[in-house]
Amino acid sequence: MATRHTETDAQDGTDAGFVPFLGRFFPESLALAVLLALVALFVTTPYLPAFQQVETFTTGFYQLFAVQMALILYWVLSATVVESRPVGELFDRIAGLIPTSQTTIVYSTGVLALALGWVNWALGLLGGVFVGRRLCRRAHEEGIAIHYPAVLTAGLLSLVLANQGPTSPGALLMADTRLAEMSGFLADSGPLSMAEFLLAPANLVPSVVLVLTLPLLLVVLAPDAKTDRTELEDGAILEGSIGETFDHYSLPSQDGYTVADRLEQSRLISGLAVVIGLGSIGLYAATGGGLTLLWLLFSLMILGLLVHTRPMAFRSKTTHATRWANHVAIPFMLYAVVFALLSAAGLYGAIGDALGGGTVGPFLAALGLGLLIPDPASVWVVVGPALIATGSDLVGSVVAVMYGAGLSNLWLGFLFCGILSIRGFDWREFVRYAAVITVYVSVVVLVSTIAL
């Protein structure tokens, strides 16, 4: 069999890639959110008067407006910071240190994606995908055939651990007492300690095991014979450096600058904001302040100003980064309706009993529901109250749901690749990789959480 080529980016427009193929069968997040809300409306019919049902359906999202805005900013600001020239240049330096054999590229890309994804979803996803493509380019220039499907899948592994680290949206949501006061969401469950969440053996042990071993699984699955490898097509290989790709902003001509223009392009203004912001963050940490969702958002804003240097460059990138929040911005209003209906009907206790204690039920529920709800924090908003209602351990519940939601995001990798204009490779190979990874991750997580 001759060496093949894949990745139909900007090529013949066929639907061979898993991104367009799976996209044909997966409705928009908003359509699925409407469907979930209608199901919740139907299920609560025996428990609520018709008028209360309709009123809750139309106004139920009011309560979680603050949560909705925080989650939108979580996606937008994370992407804004990572999609910057300094971060891109860091990725370039990392890529330059990795040898160009297939085993090394697949394993290194997977480890990098998982480790950085544990820190932040955007850092892991963009780092894994772009470093992997950069390495494929180097290998191509050196005449080395690399099986690109394994490399791209290795980059997508970041999604598996993106909810288990210090920027886990579900954990941060439960750690933020101010947000709980504003929204009332699970305010009586008590704040979650991020340190306790991060260091919980049921969370930490599987994370370490997966970082070290999951990329090896892809190395084994990738074809060893060079003639069976599917390379990235020449025209789709990353042109230029990652830093150049992320450097989106060009300073306009200074001819005819007004006072407003100078303020918008002033590095001094950004610098002052960064100094004050970093001082505030340092003071907050020094006085014992814990990591919460709102403080993370503030920190990301300051980092965004730091890496983009100019107010208008930062603003321009945030506008571009809103594409990462399309799956949560409007659909969350309907996720909140589901929460409101089930809460008003008093069904969360019964749902929690059905899921059972421990981690198996919550993990599987999040894995299944996550295929319909791409945002992991929104999965927690819908499932979490059921676990809390039955007195389940808060840390264990968040850990299980976040693992399940992260694994489901791997199956939704075509959504994230689509945002990056990547069409992917043959959908059958993607399904094979995803299925094997799902079984392996499920075994590691469930065995670890049950044993620990």
Residue range 303-362, pLDDT digits in tens? 999 999 999 999 999 999 999 999 999 999 999 999 999 999 999 999 999 998 778 999
299 versus 179: the higher-pLDDT residue is 299
Strands, DSSP E only, in 120-226? Answer: none
Residue 234 has pLDDT above 80, yes or no: no
Span 180-202, pLDDT tens digits: 888 888 777 778 999 999 999 99
Supply the pLDDT for residue 61.
87
* pLDDT band, very low/low/confident/very high, at 227 (cuts 50, 70, 90): confident
1, 227 in Cβ contact below 8 A?
A: yes
* pLDDT band, very low/low/confident/very high, at 236 (cuts 50, 70, 90): low
302 versus 393: the higher-pLDDT residue is 302
- 3-class secondary structure, 201: helix
Supply the pLDDT for residue 186.
79
Span 285-294, pLDDT tens digits: 999 989 999 9
Q: What is the mean pLDDT of residues 64-75?
A: 95
Return d(Cα 165, Cα 447) in angstroms, integer.
20
19, 417 in Cβ contact below 8 A?
A: yes
How many Cβ atoms are within 10 Å of 134's Cβ, its own excluded? 25
Q: What is the mean pLDDT of residues 60-73?
A: 92
* pLDDT band, very low/low/confident/very high, at 8 (cuts 50, 70, 90): very low
* pLDDT band, very low/low/confident/very high, at 240 (cuts 50, 70, 90): confident
347 closest CA partner among 35, 43, 52: 43
Q: What DSSP letter does each residue of 298-311 carry, written as one string? A: HHHHHHHHHHH-SH
Q: What is the mean pLDDT of the chain?
A: 91
Supply the pLDDT for residue 124.
98
Cβ-count burial 169-205 (b if 16+ within 10 Å, e if not): bbbbbbbbeebbebbebbeebebbbbeebbebebbbb
Return d(Cα 274, Cα 244) in angstroms, integer.
24
Span 119-140, pLDDT tens digits: 999 999 999 999 999 999 999 8
* pLDDT band, very low/low/confident/very high, at 9 (cuts 50, 70, 90): very low
Q: What is the mean pLDDT of residues 415-443?
A: 95
* pLDDT band, very low/low/confident/very high, at 12 (cuts 50, 70, 90): very low
* pLDDT band, very low/low/confident/very high, at 4 (cuts 50, 70, 90): very low
Q: How far is CA 279 from each of CA 73, 182, 273, 286, rounded to the nearest angstrom?
A: 22, 26, 10, 10
Q: What is the mean pLDDT of residues 42-48?
A: 94
Q: What is the mean pLDDT of residues 401-429?
A: 95
Supply the pLDDT for residue 392.
87
Of the chain, the percentage scoring pLDDT greater than 90 comes to 75
Residue 34 has pLDDT above 50, yes or no: yes
Residue 63 has pLDDT above 90, yes or no: no
169 closest CA partner among 294, 318, 310: 294
Q: Is 61 exposed, middle or buried (0-12, 13-18, 19+ CB in 10 A)?
A: buried
Supply the pLDDT for residue 1.
33
How many Cβ atoms are within 10 Å of 226's Cβ, its own excluded? 13
Residue 272 has pLDDT above 70, yes or no: yes
Residue 296 has pLDDT above 90, yes or no: yes
Return d(Cα 443, Cα 63) in angstroms, integer.
37
Supply the pLDDT for residue 177.
86
